[in-house]
Amino acid sequence: MTTINDNYLKLKAGYLFPEIARRVNAFAHANPDAKLIRLGIGDVTEPLPEACRTAMIKAVEEMGDRATFKGYGPEQGYEWLREKIAAHDFQARGCEIEESEIFISDGSKCDTGNILDIFGSDNTIAVTDPVYPVYVDTNVMAGHTGPANEAGEFGGLVYLPITAANNFTAEIPSQKVDLIYLCFPNNPTGAVATKEHLKAWVNYAKAHGSIIFFDAAYEAFISDPEIPHSIYEIEGARDCAIEFRSFSKNAGFTGTRCALTVVPKTLTAKASDNSDVELWKLWNRRQSTKFNGVSYIVQRGAEAVYSPEGQAQTKALVSFYMENAKIIREKLESAGLQVFGGVNAPYVWVKTPEGLSSWDFFDQLLQKVNVVGTPGSGFGASGEGYFRISAFNSRENVEEAMRRITS
């Protein structure tokens, strides 16, 4: 008899966002005339930058000519794209990252899960709470956890609460952990990490031989010049951190799919015989075996982000969404709600009105004003009593949603 991976049975009935979709679809079916405004899932709404579209169109035309047609590309990504990423995103900020240490992929969501392929099953894993659910669920799927308790916390994981009391930044654990997930600007709370905070984490990781998984998917939304965009701006991070980035939010590639992971060649971990192994080699082997690379057309579009036109257009996109975030913050504050985030990140983290749980507030907004957000409890036990609202939508929808909520 064929068997399954029983670890999947440990997962809750549904991933957070499909559960939101289920409730919304049920409401829409029962109320076909309701005009829903969706500020839940962090999907972008504005068109791809013109520079990216132009580059993609040209690439499509190249695919129609035998002389310029491209078949399988390098699994790690085309060198011309990796060179621009290294120069613009890292070297320009003083980070010692070379193009050979960059791997192009179809999404940082995929990479933060797939990276577990190269690590052992006996590592102690730390996640923040609340947390982007993919970090937890992929570890459950890989068999790195025990079952969940009533609060939804899985045995075998070390949870690091991020709350208003600690400015939504993870406190250094008192015990030794091996793998550490950090996301800044943070999803879902919108918090950022200072250089001092990241330096403390780097020092901890180096002292304990730990590896930091640093998700910088929202770095483009940082406006404060004192806030680091990359963990590699911190001295010593090359020896203890892997960084994940994406073109999804800054350039609108959620439907186009292009991202990157940085694995420094100086980064090592222990084999079962206690020898040091270069993680770059393992990740390169994993990608070469399980991944055929991002399409040539999409990579040409991503390359255009680094042209003068692309830089101006992506900055305009970021500014547009951050103006949405400002509107959300100000309107909700004027309505007497306590809000966090929305300054260096496109998410606003809202304290639910007294007496309402996260899902109660979700249902209330859905039923009464037809606005969809994300219940904080779906991100972890410490997210209970909070609610995430995304700035990714049209200006018209954001203003209308705020009018409905505040009235």
Binding residues for pyridoxal 5'-phosphate: 72, 108-109, 132, 187, 218, 246-248, 257, 292
The burial of 261, by beta-carbon neighbours within 10 Å (0-12 exposed, 13-18 middle, 19 or more buried), is given as buried
What SS3 class is residue 312? Answer: helix
The C-alpha angle with vertex 119 and arms to 118 and 120, in degrees rounded to 5, equals 130
Distance CA 370, CA 24 (A): 9
The three-state (H, E, C) secondary structure of 185-199, written as one string: CCCCCCCCCCHHHHH
The C-alpha angle with vertex 248 and arms to 350 and 115, in degrees rounded to 5, equals 95
Residue type, 51: A
CB neighbour list of residue 109: distance below 8 Å, 6 or more residues apart: 134
Residue numbering of the annotated binding site: 15, 42, 72, 108-109, 132, 187, 218, 246-248, 257, 292, 388
Among residues 82, 127, 94, the alpha carbon closest in space to that of 229 is found at: 94
The two counts, helices (H) then strands (E), for the chain are: 11, 15
- In whole angstroms, how far apart are CA 153 and each of 156, 173, 354, 375? 9, 17, 24, 17
- In whole angstroms, how far apart are CA 287 and each of 80, 118, 228? 19, 10, 28
- Residue 358 C-beta-side C-alpha neighbours within 13 Å: 23
Report how far Cα 143 is from the mean position of its chain's Cα atoms.
22
Distance CA 62, CA 66 (A): 8
Residue numbering of the annotated binding site for substrate: 15, 42, 109, 132, 187, 292, 388
Among residues 318, 269, 261, 228, the alpha carbon closest in space to that of 101 is found at: 261
- Tokens representing residue 406 in the block: 């505040």
Distance CA 62, CA 79 (A): 18
